[in-house]
Amino acid sequence: MRIGWIGLGGIGKPMAANVVRAGHEVIVCDLRAEPVAELVAEGAVAGTTPADVAAQTELVYASLPGIEASEQVAFGPDGLVEGARAGSLYVELSTLTPEVVQGIGGRLAARGIRFVDAPVSGGGSRREQGRLTVMAGGAAADFAEAKPVFDIIGEHVFHLGEVGTGNVAKLANNLIGLASALVSIEGLLLGVKGGIHPEALREVIMASSGGSKAFHRMVDMVLARGWEPAEGDIATAALRIVAKDLELATSFGAQIGVATAAADGARDTFVRAKDAGFGELEYWAVSEFLQQEAGVEVRAEGAGEA
Residues annotated as part of the active site: 170
Q: Which residues have a Cβ under 8 Å from the Cβ of 28 and sit 6 or more positions away? A: 5, 6, 8, 16, 35, 36, 39, 40, 44, 45, 46, 47, 53
Phi-psi region of 208 (alpha: psi -120 to 50; beta: other; left: phi over 0): beta
How many Cβ atoms sit within 10 Å of the Cβ of residue 296?
A: 15
Looking at residue 290, its amino acid is L
Q: How many of the other CB atoms lie within 10 Å of CB of 83?
A: 20
Start-to-end Cα distance in the chain: 57
Q: Classify burial at 284, counting beta carbons within 10 Å of its beta carbon; exposed 0-12, middle 13-18, buried 19 or more.
A: buried
DSSP secondary structure code for residue 278 in this structure: I
Query: Which helix (H) or strand (E) segment is 26 a member of?
Result: strand 25-29
Instruction: Return all residues near 168 (Cβ < 8 A) that are at least 6 apart.
Output: 98, 137, 160, 252
Alpha-carbon distance of 38 to 282, in angstroms, equals: 22
Q: How far apart are CA 212 and CA 232, in angstroms?
A: 34
